[in-house]
Amino acid sequence: MSQEENAQDAVSQEELPVDWPEDIEYLRRPKISPAVPAVALKLLNTPTAATASFTRFSADALRFPNPDVRIVPLNDPQHPANGQFGLAANKHFYPGNFILPYIGVLHTNNAKDTDPDSEYDISVDRDLDLAQDAAKSGNEARFINDYRGIADRPNAEFRDIWVQTGERKWERWIGIFVVTPGKSAMRKNGITPGEEILVSYGKGFWKGKKEEWVPPPKKYT
């Protein structure tokens, strides 16, 4: 993606999701940090045998804003993100269904190109030392919360995907999918309308948060 394409997407904001924050830029495709080397970007976006199994989408098939989800203000003192936002389903997503892409700014892990305070940063390719941050720019997926303190397990997960953005041009993105049932079939119902979409941020994220976050008291009725 070129810097010209970045600029086009930045100003093309005719529609915004309900409850979208005014200080966050809404994106329809990932932005690219100027610090990302062209060779790294080319390697990232070149399909290989190892990435051939990633699910493929046409960019034209992705909807922005996405009518299948909605941003929800959280006003429950028992919720770990009380006073902030979450993302809920507007339809029934079945196990394995694609929900939406996770979009932000693709950047290097160099200290000068990374926001140390961001809680929206996710690794894209460790070998290429690339990550994607949705702290200041992104789409609805940035509002998906971690399941801890909310549910027994996540109902969604991150997966790599391929998105065709032009004729024979593929880009490697991150997608959010409903988790599959697994051997125990505990998640066979998928995500129902109105249910909050929850992922696992990973143990590394919560290790750094351990001293900052205190679980809310349990409700007893």
- How many CB atoms sit inside 10 A of residue 172's CB? 22
The CA-CA-CA angle for residues 47, 49, 51, to 5°, reads 55
Q: 92 lies in a domain? A: yes
Look at the chain and report how many structural domains it folds into.
1
Q: How far apart are CA 24 and CA 152, in angstroms?
A: 31
Q: 150 lies in a domain? A: yes
Q: Which residues contact 208 (CB under 8 A, 6 or more apart)?
A: none
Q: 193 lies in a domain? A: yes
Q: What is the pLDDT of residues 55-86, one digit of tens each?
A: 999 999 999 999 999 999 999 999 999 999 99
Domain containing residue 194: CATH number: 2.170.270.10
Using DSSP's 3-state secondary structure scheme, residue 5 falls into helix
Give the structural domain span for 112. 3-11+18-209
Please name the helix (run of DSSP H) or strand (run of DSSP E) that holds residue 43, with its range, or none.
helix 38-44
Peptide bond preceding 65 in cis form (omega within 30 of 0): yes
Q: Which residues contact 121 (CB under 8 A, 6 or more apart)?
A: 104, 114, 115, 131, 132, 133, 134, 135
Instruction: State pTM to two decimals.
Output: 0.84
Q: Number of C-alpha atoms within 13 angstroms, CB side, residue 25?
A: 20
Q: What is the pLDDT of residues 119-155, one digit of tens each?
A: 999 999 999 999 999 999 999 999 999 999 999 999 9
Q: 215 lies in a domain? A: no
Q: What is the pLDDT of residues 152-193, one digit of tens each?
A: 999 999 999 999 998 779 999 999 999 987 655 556 789 999
Q: How far apart are CA 180 and CA 191, in angstroms?
A: 11
